[in-house]
Amino acid sequence: MVEKDKKDKKELIKQVYLGPSFKDVVHQRVYIGELPEALTDLKEKCPMAKHLIVELKDYANGVKELNEKGSVIHTSLLKVQEFFLKEVKE
């Protein structure tokens, strides 16, 4: 029983969302295990959003890339912000 609990804990991935806050999703918050439904929906509606979710172990590199114009994460942030602006206007 104890071994199973340890295995379950190891399988929980810690991820950080580097995009803008919305609904119940907070900028640079660590999510353990499943992502919030709002974030999953965002990934479906705006596929570039998937690049804004990085594993906790890659957080420092993700933030560095977030600030590098032309990088995948920086470009994804711009696309997600554009998506939210469109959604507000509709």
| HEC per residue, the chain | CHHHHHHHHHHCCEEEECCCCECCECCCCEEECCCCHHHHHHHHHCHHHHHHEEEHHHHHHHHHHHCCCCCHHHHHHHHHHHHHHHHHHC
List pLDDT tens digits, range 31-81.
999 999 999 999 999 999 999 999 999 999 999 999 999 999 999 999 999
Confidence (pTM): 0.82
Segments making up each domain of the chain, as ranges: 2-89
How far is it, in rounded angstroms, from Cα 3 to Cα 75?
A: 42
List pLDDT tens digits, range 1-10.
445 555 555 5
